[in-house]
Homo-oligomer: A and B are copies of this chain.
Amino acid sequence: MQMFSLGLDVGGANTKAVLFDNGKLEKHWLEYIPLWKNLKGLKEFLENVRQSVRPRVVGVTMSGELSDVFESKREGVRRIVGVVSDVFSGEKVYYFSLKGNLVSERKALESPYLLSASNWVSSGLLAGREYPECLLIDVGSTTTDLVPINGGKPDPSGWSDYERLQTKELIYTGILRTPPPFLKSKVTVDGKQVGISYEYFANMADVYRVLGLLAEEDYTCETPDGRGMGKEECMRRLARLICSDLEELGEEKIIDIAEDFRRAQILQVKEGILEVANSHDVDNSTPVIVTGMGDDILGKKAAEAAGFEEIIRMSSVYGEVASLMTPAFSLGLLVSEEALNEGRD
């Protein structure tokens, strides 16, 4: 008998959904739904998912409540809960809290801060299944989570995004959308330091494309200028960061600049790892689990730079989908187990 369980992760820019059938991965979705435009896109997507697969149980985690379409995180959580509960009114819907448990809609609406940015906790639980003592590094398009796992569960110093920005457990850096000027305010060209324009002329996806580290089909966000994702177009965007262009600079210097930014991003994550390791029972023999679309090009590189010896890709344990959308995968698995348990009761 089919028994579909859905894990949902509603982000500010992307919504991810992973469907399990009796605990087995069945299907997944990655949809670009920028909440700052409106919530209609989210509703339509969820309605389509519901009609096509009819899940029995739904588990929801989120980080999209921070989107500036909402006045406050409280409002954001409530509005997102509203949309999800509305669409899945006939199904059992659980909301995933920062404490790692599943709560009802009523509880979610009562304590919105408990739901805010709980997605990394979900990821942490997945990592903890196989590696009860480890450091999880989830490098996404936009942010990087560093989650110390202890006894199979997340054991961080901070819980809210605001706290985690203090502890470096959340670093606002990712391999696609991060604007390079955020990583350093100068680059070296021909041995000279050059200031940088802060306009959103280019992003880290352009950097990794230029360096041959990102495939065109993995450039899954909008380009800053609305043009294509070809290498030359990425180069043009990077040149603009120093108020120049491809004609004036030439390819070689642009590649140097890209390399400069890549190194800065690895350094940024490395420093975060060292700080988090320092305040936890984590040393360089602790296994590091890397996940997310930047697991290899940024997570692994930063962990190596920080001196860690055992670095494991989440994808090698749970497959590519688990790595690409860890919170939704983990939550889908969790609610599918919950459903199985209930069936047994």
Q: Which A residues contact B (CB, under 8 angstroms)? A: 36, 66, 68-69, 71-74, 113, 117, 160-162, 165-166, 168, 170-173, 178-179, 181-182, 185, 192-201, 224-225, 227, 236-237, 240, 242-249
Do B192 and A172 touch (CB < 8 A)? Answer: no
Q: What is the bound-complex CA distance between A266 and B23, given in angstroms?
A: 57
Partner of A194 from B166, B178, B181 at Cβ < 8 Å: B166
Since A162-B242, A172-B197, A182-B198 are in contact, a sample of 19 more A-B pairs with Cβ atoms closer than 8 Å, ordered by chain A residue number, is A66-B243, A68-B224, A68-B227, A71-B236, A71-B245, A73-B244, A73-B247, A74-B247, A160-B243, A160-B248, A165-B195, A165-B196, A165-B242, A165-B243, A166-B195, A170-B243, A178-B198, A181-B182, A200-B200
Do B240 and A162 touch (CB < 8 A)? Answer: no
Residues on B with C-beta less than 8 A from A179 are 198
Shortest Cβ distance from residue A136 to the other chain B in the assembled complex, whole angstroms: 18
Number of copies: 2
| Residue in chain B with minimal CB distance to A249 | B162
| Residue in chain B with minimal CB distance to A223 | B68
Q: What is the bound-complex CA distance between A192 and B275, given in angstroms?
A: 14
| Residue in chain B with minimal CB distance to A169 | B195
Contact flag A248-B73 (CB < 8 Å), given A182-B182, A192-B166, A201-B68 = yes
| Residue in chain B with minimal CB distance to A174 | B198
Shortest Cβ distance from residue A117 to the other chain B in the assembled complex, whole angstroms: 7
Q: What is the bound-complex CA distance between A113 and B170, given in angstroms?
A: 43
| Residue in chain B with minimal CB distance to A65 | B245
Q: What is the bound-complex CA distance between A261 and B207, given in angstroms?
A: 28
Shortest Cβ distance from residue A221 to the other chain B in the assembled complex, whole angstroms: 13
Contact flag A165-B178 (CB < 8 Å), given A66-B243, A72-B246, A117-B243 = no
Q: What is the bound-complex CA distance between A178 and B197, given in angstroms?
A: 10
Q: What is the bound-complex CA distance between A165 and B181, given in angstroms?
A: 13
